[in-house]
Structure 1
Amino acid sequence: MRHPTSLWQTFALELDEGRPGFTKGPWFTMNAVLSLDGELDADVLARTFHSLQRRHEALRTEILDDRLQLVHPEPRAALEVIDEVATHAPVALETPVRLRLAGTELALHLHHLVSDPVTLWETVSELAAGYTAALAGESLPPVEAQYWQYSMAEAEQARRIRDNAHDWWKSRVGDAKVCQQPAGSPGSALAFREDLLTASEVETVERLTRQHRGTPLITFLAALTHGMNPHVGAGETFLFTTLFGKRDRPAWQRVLGPCIVPSFLAVPRPGGSLAADVPAVREAVVGCGRYARFPSSEVNAWIENRPRTPFFEYVPQQWPGLFRFGPVSAKVVSAAGPKDTGLADAMAIRVRKTTDGVLTGHFSADGIDWTEPLVHQVRSGFRTYLLAE
């Protein structure tokens, strides 16, 4: 079966055209490693994995260059029993899932073109439930929805809101400023992680966020734009690219597949305090999310000189608790998104809270528009804004 690609998949393919191998390559993956408190029956696990692929078309979907999802009729991946697992493992686009077992460690790897963080954890959850059911001689209930159904519904919604979305984005990006910082001389590509706030500082910021009726995304966006203030004039709007989660119907809550939409964040220049900035940033985030299902290529066409737009994403901590594989408990010990492969383009910032409560940021750039010193300036402004509260 062949179905049109979703908005996310189409966007990712467009990215790969400019950076061959970035999104279609084997390291563009979602990954999880689990520690087991006992040994699993490899034969039962292998059968469960095969059944899981049969149940969910996303796990046997290949993304084609002509922007089609090709669903293969039969599973193409088998359980790998190896000596040692790693957080990252390459996943071929034509076989978008790998499951690896090494003693009391289990690793799942999914290609990001057919997965998102929710898909990662739902796959582990159903694998555990299927294994438990197999031990008891039982079977799981039928799957509620397949990813192609989400893609079709997404396309229909995009058609319904197109006129309103067109007008909203046209007005929003008219005075937008993409924070493109030409370096005095090109630097080296960069990719690094750095703590932004301690656990106690995060607790303080979360308390202020609730007090001002905001969300972590709103708070961190206000802080990030403050960090870029030295480079942007008063009255201007900051423009970032981002991803919005769109499991916005009951049927999509547990469907396997990337229910995410690439879009923009058009955020007003902050006034200097969280209390003053939250209402304007909240209004911007709500509008951007409402009209996210609109072709990003059209929004790009309205941006003067079409500069490379920085990427920002707040990733909530989504590690689940224990999974039960029959009598065996499994605990997540490592999880990660795509591996850095040196193909970073415009600056990208991903912010998340770790399991010990620390706010950490992952920064990457190609060193052309944003060099490492400039990135550290933004990081410093981010902290200063939040801690001044």
Structure 2
Amino acid sequence: MTIPLTYAQELLDEVERHDPTRIRGPRFTVERSYTVTGAIDPAVLATALDDVVVRHEALRTVRDGAEQRILPPVPVGLDTGGGGFDGPLPGGQVPALRARLVGGRLDLAAHHGAADPWSLSVLARDVVTAYHARLAGGRLDAAVMQYADIAADDRSPQWQKRIAEVVPRWRERLCGLGPSAPRTLSGEAERACPLAMVTFALGDDLWRAVGATARRARSTPFTLLLAAFAAAMCPAGDTAEAVLPVITPGRIPSEWDTVGFLLNVLTLRIPMTGDPDPADLLRRVDAACRQAYADDIPLVPVLRAVPGLLDVLVGARAVPAFRYVARPDMTPPIEQPRFTLTPLGAETPPTVILGTPILVTVHPGGRGEVAYDPGLVTASHVERLVEAYLAVLPAFAGAGR
């Protein structure tokens, strides 16, 4: 079966043209480790993994120029050796999934053209569900919205009409952005470095204050966190505006169980005049967020309408990106599970995919991390950014009191 590319896949092509070998490279993978709780039969687990490949067509789909083809299911092959994943996962290999069971840990890796971080959460849930279905003599339900369905929706007349209506508004909002707009980050010239990570935590009291203030303002924790980030990025008098790329899951509720690459980016532009009052800046960021999400379309048509926008998002002159990770409950629907999977460590951040030099992520509860390219950005630069963010956030969490 041959299907068109999704807009998200076209975005990967745009990034590849801007930064060759980033997407086509053999280690373009998303990985996550999980702690295994309970007894587990490796043979049943291997069968469960194969059932997951049957359920999710994206894991057995290969690119063919401007199209893609869905292939028949192929066994995953559960690795029970030690160490980490020691080899590349080429984009043309199916299934685009690897699994290794070592002691009390299960490692999952997928080619990023077939899965994004959200997808790994879906896969981990479905592996547990498939395992228990096999123990009961059944199989994992294969009925789910497929990546091919999203590709078809992307090219539907209704969606094309919607994109044509919305693109002019994005062009007007982002007019004038280009190579000269972003500030150069402080970093070394060489790239080709693995991502580095700095973690931080808001603390329980501050996190509760964020939620309470957002509710009073009839806004959301994400919007408040983003407003504080704008203030940290643009101290008083430093610049006339904040350019805020927000990485989104690119999913609507009907696509929550779909495996594939769906990430999207919404670029906000916020005026930053004088020393903004936190409550006032929160209102302006809230208004900008509402407009952006109301006009949420794939990034690729926006890139084509706003020359130079990709330079703002990717590479040495790109501005830091932001995301707030809030996903639906991925607990398997099993009353008495024989085994469970609990995420261990941080997931692969989207900055490895989209080429952003700095990505700030905040999770529900106030845990956060900054992933950055040490070939472009120094550790001290990132540490100063985190310090500035944590310094201004309490004022926003108390905005309007």
Residue 276 of structure 2 is matched in structure 1 by: 272
Assess, with a 3 A threshold, how the Cα gap between structure 1 residues 232 and 187 changes in structure 2: closer, same or farther: farther
In structure 1, stretches of 5+ residues that fail to align are none
Amino acid at match of 1:267: I
Residue 312 of structure 1 is matched in structure 2 by: 321
Q: Does 1:223 align with 2:235?
A: no
Q: Does 1:18 align with 2:15?
A: no
Partner-residue secondary structure (3-state), 1:78: coil
Residue 341 of structure 2 is matched in structure 1 by: 331
Q: Deviations 1:220-269 (Å, cap 9, x if unpaired)? A: 221121122248766x443233332333253x231222333234233333
CA contact 1:170–1:302 (8 Å) conserved in 2: no
Q: CA deviation at 1:184?
A: 9.7
Pick from 302, 307, 312 the counterpart of residue 301 of structure 1: 307
CA contact 1:187–1:371 (8 Å) conserved in 2: no
Q: Deviations 1:171-192 (Å, cap 9, x if unpaired)? A: 1012558442365985887733
* CA RMSD between the two structures: 3.6
Aligned 1:72-83 pairs, distance under 5 A: 72-75=71-74, 77-83=76-82
Q: Does 1:386 align with 2:386?
A: no
Residue 42 of structure 1 is matched in structure 2 by: 42
Amino acid at match of 1:386: L
Q: CA deviation at 1:82?
A: 1.9
CA contact 2:60–2:73 (8 Å) conserved in 1: yes
Whole-angstrom distance in 1 between the partners of 2:90 and 2:334: 29
Residue 147 of structure 2 is matched in structure 1 by: 147
Residue 164 of structure 2 is matched in structure 1 by: 163
Whole-angstrom distance in 2 between the partners of 1:321 and 1:184: 41
Give the TM-score taking structure 2 as reference length: 0.81
Whole-angstrom distance in 2 between the partners of 1:353 and 1:340: 14
Partner-residue secondary structure (3-state), 2:372: strand
Amino acid at match of 2:160: R
CA contact 2:320–2:356 (8 Å) conserved in 1: yes
Q: CA deviation at 1:326?
A: 7.4
CA contact 2:247–2:266 (8 Å) conserved in 1: yes
Pick from 88, 91, 101 the counterpart of residue 89 of structure 2: 91
Partner-residue secondary structure (3-state), 1:20: coil
Q: Deviations 1:154-213 (Å, cap 9, x if unpaired)? A: 333541223322221121012558442365985887733131533332222232222222
Q: Does 1:253 align with 2:256?
A: yes
Assess, with a 3 A threshold, how the Cα gap between structure 1 residues 201 and 91 changes in structure 2: closer, same or farther: farther
Whole-angstrom distance in 2 between the partners of 1:139 and 1:304: 44
Whole-angstrom distance in 1 between the partners of 2:141 and 2:368: 39
Pick from 262, 265, 268 the counterpart of residue 262 of structure 1: 265
Residue 134 of structure 2 is matched in structure 1 by: 134
Assess, with a 3 A threshold, how the Cα gap between structure 1 residues 330 and 89 changes in structure 2: closer, same or farther: farther
Whole-angstrom distance in 2 between the partners of 1:130 and 1:53: 11
Residue 363 of structure 2 is matched in structure 1 by: 353
Residue 31 of structure 2 is matched in structure 1 by: 31
Aligned residues with identical type, % of pairs: 21
Give the TM-score taking structure 1 as reference length: 0.83
* Deviating more after overlay: 153-162 vs 182-191: 182-191
CA contact 1:263–1:292 (8 Å) conserved in 2: yes
Whole-angstrom distance in 2 between the partners of 1:185 and 1:47: 47
Q: CA deviation at 1:324?
A: 5.7
Whole-angstrom distance in 2 between the partners of 1:345 and 1:131: 36
In structure 2, stretches of 5+ residues that fail to align are none
Q: CA deviation at 1:296?
A: 3.7
Whole-angstrom distance in 2 between the partners of 1:69 and 1:375: 39
Assess, with a 3 A threshold, how the Cα gap between structure 1 residues 210 and 220 changes in structure 2: closer, same or farther: same
Assess, with a 3 A threshold, how the Cα gap between structure 1 residues 180 and 101 changes in structure 2: closer, same or farther: same
CA contact 2:23–2:353 (8 Å) conserved in 1: no
CA contact 1:273–1:385 (8 Å) conserved in 2: no
Residue 2 of structure 2 is matched in structure 1 by: 2
Assess, with a 3 A threshold, how the Cα gap between structure 1 residues 350 and 323 changes in structure 2: closer, same or farther: farther
Partner-residue secondary structure (3-state), 2:113: helix
Whole-angstrom distance in 2 between the partners of 1:241 and 1:62: 30
Partner-residue secondary structure (3-state), 1:239: strand
Amino acid at match of 2:231: H
Whole-angstrom distance in 1 between the partners of 2:382 and 2:43: 49
CA contact 1:85–1:101 (8 Å) conserved in 2: no
Assess, with a 3 A threshold, how the Cα gap between structure 1 residues 116 and 138 changes in structure 2: closer, same or farther: same
Amino acid at match of 1:301: P
Aligned 1:168-247 pairs, distance under 5 A: 168-174=169-175, 178-181=181-184, 183=186, 191-195=196-200, 197-230=202-235, 236-247=240-251
Partner-residue secondary structure (3-state), 2:73: coil
Choose between structure 1 and 2: higher strand proportion.
1
* Deviating more after overlay: 326-335 vs 166-175: 326-335
Amino acid at match of 2:323: Y
Aligned 1:52-63 pairs, distance under 5 A: 52-63=52-63
CA contact 2:200–2:369 (8 Å) conserved in 1: yes
Assess, with a 3 A threshold, how the Cα gap between structure 1 residues 349 and 366 changes in structure 2: closer, same or farther: same
Whole-angstrom distance in 1 between the partners of 2:383 and 2:187: 16
Whole-angstrom distance in 2 between the partners of 1:57 and 1:304: 30
